[in-house]
Amino acid sequence: MSFLKKGKSIIFILLICIFVFLATNGYAQESDPFKLTIGGGPIGSGFFVVMSAYARIMNEKVPAIDASIEGTGGGIDNLYLVQDGQIEIGGGICSGTYMAFRGVEDFEKDGAFSNLRGVSMMYEWPLQIIVMEDSSIETVYDFKGKRVAVGVRGGGGETVSRQFLGSLGITFDDIEPVWVGYAETMDGLKLGDIDAAIFNTGVPTPAVLELQATHSFRVIPFSDEDISKITTDYPYYIPGVMKAGTYETIKEDIPTFFGFPVLYAHKDVPYDIVYKFLKGIWDNFDIMEASHSSQIGLTPQRCYENINPILPLHPGAELYYREIGVIK
C-alpha cells in the first residue's frame, strides 16, 4: 500500500474515532430532540389548555424539543415535581411560586425551592366565584356554613382561596371546603352538592363553558373595599374586572382581583432548550392566541415584568428577553 493510501486510511479511521467519541459523550445530532415534560395541571382548566398549546408548538415548530404534557394536581404539585427534577417545566400560581422559592409561609417546613427558575408569565386570570342562578349566595360573606369547592387539595386554587378568604376574615373552619377538580366541581354544582365554586384560571374556563350549555349561573362580585383588602395583603394580586360577555350569562363587568400563573423550569434544563422553548412560543404566538382567549394581547414585555419579582430568570429565558430588547 502506498504512503498516500496509508495516509488516507489513517485520516478516515481518525474521523470515525472522533465521530464515535462525540456521539458517546453527549454531542448528539440535532435530530435527537431534547425530551421535555411539561406539567399540565388539572384537565378541564384553562391552565391545561395553555400548557397543551406550548407542547403543540414545541412538537410542530421546534425540532430540537420533543415535548409531552402530563396531567398534574395543579400549581403546587408542579412546584414539587420541578424542584425534584421529575418534570422539566411547570407552572403555578404566582403566590405559591413566590413563597416556595423563598421557603416561607406554606413552604417553610420544606425549605426554599432553589431549583426553580423563571421563564414567563402564562396569562392573567380573574378570581371567579360561580354559583347557580337560584343560589342564596350574594357575597363571599354568605359562604359561612356552605359547601365551597376550593380546588384540589394542595393545589394553587386552595392557596388562593385561603388567602383571599383570610383577608376578609373567613377561614376554612367557617365553611365546608370541598377539595375536587374541575369536572367534579361542575357535577357538584349541577346536583346541588356544592353551593359555590372558586376558580383561579384563564377565562373563559372550559368547565364553566360546559356548565353554561345546560344551566344558568351567576358570578359573585367583590366590593371595592374587599378587593383593596386582598390586594394590600397580597401585592402580587391586582384589582380588575371580568368583562361582560365572558360567559353568556354575564351581562355586566364583575369586579374582582387578578393573579397569574408563573411558568418556570428546573435550573439544570440546558439554557439553549429554554431559549428555544421561549422563542418558539413567541415566534408562533398565533397558535397560542387561537388556543385560549387568555393569550390575546399578551406581550413579552408584560410577561417579563410580571414574573421578574417572583423568582430569578432561567439563563435561557434571560438570553431571549435580552435578544428582543425587553431586558436592556
Distances (CA, A) of 271 to 86, 264, 268, 275, 315: 18, 13, 8, 6, 6
Can you list the alpha helix ranges (DSSP code H) found in 62-111? 75-83, 94-102
User: From CA 103, how far away is CA 267, in angstroms rounded?
Assistant: 17
Task: Give me the pLDDT at residue 27, please.
Answer: 40
Side-chain half-sphere of 68: how many Cα atoms within 13 Å? 9
Domains 34-124+261-323 and 125-259 fall in the same CATH topology: yes
The owner of cell 382548566 is: 45
Q: Pick from 131, 51, 136: which is nearest to 88 by CA?
A: 51
Find out whether 234 and 94 touch, Cβ atoms under 8 Å: no
**Which fold is adopted by the domain 125-259?**
D-Maltodextrin-Binding Protein; domain 2 (3.40.190)
Residues 6+ apart with CB under 8 A from 225: none
Question: Can you say how many angstroms the Cα of residue 257 is from the centroid of all Cα atoms in its chain?
Answer: 17
Query: Any idea where the domains of the chain sit in the sequence?
Result: 34-124+261-323, 125-259
User: From CA 185, how far away is CA 224, in angstroms rounded?
Assistant: 28
Distances (CA, A) of 136 to 48, 146, 250, 293: 32, 10, 18, 31
Cβ-count burial 157-196 (b if 16+ within 10 Å, e if not): bbbbbbbbbebbebeeeebebbebbbebbbebbeeeebbb
User: From CA 269, how far away is CA 250, in angstroms rounded?
Assistant: 43
pLDDT in tens, the chain (328 residues): 554 445 545 544 544 444 444 444 444 445 689 999 999 887 878 889 999 999 999 999 999 999 999 988 888 899 999 999 999 999 988 988 999 999 998 899 999 999 999 999 999 999 999 999 999 999 999 999 999 999 988 777 898 999 999 999 999 999 999 999 888 999 999 999 999 999 988 888 888 999 999 999 999 999 999 999 999 999 889 899 999 999 998 999 999 999 999 999 999 999 999 999 999 999 999 999 999 988 999 999 999 999 988 999 999 999 999 999 999 8
The predicted model scores a pTM of 0.73
User: From CA 81, how far away is CA 61, in angstroms rounded?
Assistant: 26
CATH class of the domain at 34-124+261-323: alpha beta
Q: Which amino acid is at 48?
A: F
